[in-house]
Structure 1
């Protein structure tokens, strides 16, 4: 290992540790309800991440290495997804060709500019009107009316790479967070006179989840590409499904945090494939 490599790795570890501490100091509350639109944006968390350079890292040579590892901490802490999307310079919306006959944006409304991701690529558009909708997750999803932005700019390849790394790490963090909850429950819950985790079937589920979770973490730390990110929500969904089986009915209650992880994974599983494909098709160096 060269001195330069060791220095970079030390810097990455320091930055990741800082992001972890910030997430702990500014936790994101559960803003979701099945009856009203939800918005979990966290002003304090955004401010503190901005202060340490979260949004500046995308321009660094080792952005993918840094953001993959740091994005993991955001996912485990259930931070709002806009912190990842804004690495692209603007928010994200899905075009009507992807979701039916409407355009949907997350964390954006009238007056904002977003990357509208459609079947042919991503286009920069200005939102003229928006209507918040109830959604499966608290991502401030809204039906939007938009028109092409007057000043079109290319989608920088490094920004796309940074977003891919951070989102892969974020999804890995969601899987790890859910697994921590399920593993702790299995160790504490008694069944047939012994911890639930001692039962062979449960132990095997936990082992499979650990393998998948660690695989996601490794992928996030190794400059993931579009293909890796396409697969990440699928792997995380499998972890969530097993965690729900371990917890039983408790995992579906609003009082227990597992449902926050599983709702977010389900939402990202719906959005991510189309977004990745559109961004990859429209990157300026592509």
Structure 2
């Protein structure tokens, strides 16, 4: 899975003010070939394998299109959905789980990442999927794994930078404050990976993964300094993906809780 994710990871084509759809036919085909879609049954025995595979996708910051498809379609949040062109499905949260709807027409929206975000103009309710509960569980586990992969890569990347970057006659890794940030980031990322390998799912697991991964990104930016914000440097891609995907996850959680109330 790591080799596949690395081989098909595309260039970061997003620029401020642009609408970019990063779905990859090569990645989707590769996942089918490896049997990745066989892990989306939502069974407790397969969740750790699914989430662990998603960790590798997160480490390469690949498209999240295939993870979205585990749910059946992108979560609809505030009238927006990822990869939501006509004939695609979107997921509508409700207290009992969720329903899906077909996109009849939509408008591309400028967004903070390459998630193919569209505003819904017209949809048609498709009802509840027969395997909806299992799909929901599998999507939650895969999303936790993807966040864990994002965090894990940034910790490794920041550690490598701290060991090689010299300042005042020593490397950044010799600075106490940098060591503390690396330790905090590594502890958080390791906990996320361990959670993914256990198949963690549910709204609390989703909320924790999104929030904790953003904490790791903040540590990374403080270690890299201004260079971390440049478009030529990988860190901004990971922090953008964390914030953008987190906005959909957080919105989905809020809607599910609001509907339950």
TM, length-normalised to structure 1: 0.83
Which of 20, 30, 55 pairs up with 1:38? Answer: 20
The CA deviation at 1:267 is: 1.1
| Structure 1 CA distance for aligned equivalents of residues 171 and 47 of structure 2 | 40
The structure 1 segments of at least 4 consecutive aligned residues displaced by more than 4 Å after TM superposition are 118-121, 276-282
Matching residue of 2:4: 22
Aligned residues: 257
Deviations 1:169-199 (A, max 9, x none): 1000001111222111111110110111111
The CA deviation at 1:133 is: 1.2
The CA deviation at 1:268 is: 2.1
Q: SS of 1:59's equivalent?
A: coil
Q: 1:281 and 1:64, CA in 2 relative to 1: closer, same or farther beyond 3 A?
A: farther
The CA deviation at 1:156 is: 2.2
Deviations 1:239-282 (A, max 9, x none): 10010000001000000010010001101221113324667999
Decide whether the 8 Å contact of 1:59 with 1:159 is kept in 2: yes
Q: SS of 2:11's equivalent?
A: coil
Gaps of 5+ in 1: 1-18
Task: Give the stretch that moved more between structures: 197-206 or 220-229.
Answer: 220-229
| Structure 2 CA distance for aligned equivalents of residues 249 and 277 of structure 1 | 33
| Structure 2 CA distance for aligned equivalents of residues 52 and 204 of structure 1 | 39
Matching residue of 1:270: 247
Which of 52, 55, 73 pairs up with 1:72? Answer: 55
Matching residue of 2:219: 242
Query: Which residues in structure 2 correspond to 1:248-263 (within 5 Å)?
Result: 248-263=225-240
Query: Which residues in structure 2 correspond to 1:50-129 (within 5 Å)?
Result: 50-59=32-41, 61=43, 62-88=45-71, 90-95=72-77, 99=78, 103-117=79-93, 122-129=98-105
Which of 191, 214, 217 pairs up with 1:215? Answer: 191
Task: Give the stretch that moved more between structures: 132-141 or 60-69.
Answer: 60-69
